[in-house]
Structure 1
């Protein structure tokens, strides 16, 4: 992340040297857009924090473990859809779940829905793209995650 900040600062500085008026205008527009979306982002972050407080790692293991059967896939799809975690948290969490006995296929469904389906971000997405597009994108992403999970089941049962 520090590297990205340094690169962004350097490129902004170069842009400032090349055309200071356009750079200042671009930075102002970016800040205006940021402050417009900030209340919605903060609301989503608060909702996510509350949800993550109630969904512990132990609860995930209980509903996603080997003993859960097909319900593990359903649980993984639902939990992934309503959670919102950055990749640097999601992938280590997936590693922990695998070590506790959660299958790769269940992890695939969980991670795919986690990254592609955004139930908690529907208000933001609908505001910018409309409810119809938001619903279609989330539905197709959910179906895609289920297909990924089914493919993983086939791969790991054949091997």
Structure 2
């Protein structure tokens, strides 16, 4: 429902823009199309890699590697796997739930979900193109460290509760 509302708002704003200045609106549309054309090859490559990764790294295999007794090694492995794999956030949470039900540890799942949503090893070329190599590396490194810290805090909180 919210998607329909957003599309309607975008369409109304487009009509207002077109009515105010047709030339600028057409130019903006052409600029948008060119931007999509530039990003599309990299985006398709990312989709291909993601599909292959998800077919190899199914939840059963991951839960064997990151069981609740794997401690720091399991958290690090989870963080590395999450950094490499890429999936939408809603899929990450569903995967985390499946992993927990299959015997994975809570800290390990926290590290996996955190890195899945914060880090993009697969998308680094795209990040480098837009924010620069140094910024992309720093952003991913800080996100990785943050994910490890979050995982240990989540593990501690669950033990306390």
* 1:150 alignment partner in structure 2: 152
Alignment partner of 1:61 is 2:63: yes
Which residue of the other structure, out of 3, 22, 25, is the alignment partner of 1:23?
25
* 2:139 alignment partner in structure 1: 137
CA-based RMSD of the aligned residues comes to: 1.8
CA deviations 1:16-75 (Å, max 9, x no partner) are 234333222222111111101111111121122122221112111111222433322112
Q: Which runs of 5+ in 2 are unaligned?
A: none
Which moved further from structure 2: 124-133 or 17-26? 17-26
TM-score normalised over the length of structure 1:
0.89
* 2:37 alignment partner in structure 1: 35
Alignment partner of 1:84 is 2:51: no
The runs of 4+ residues in structure 1 deviating greater than 6 Å are none
Which moved further from structure 2: 112-121 or 39-48? 39-48
The 8 Å contact of residues 100 and 106 in structure 2, kept in 1 or not, is answered as: yes
Q: Which runs of 5+ in 1 are unaligned?
A: none
Deviation at 1:142, TM superposition (A): 0.4
* 1:9 alignment partner in structure 2: 11
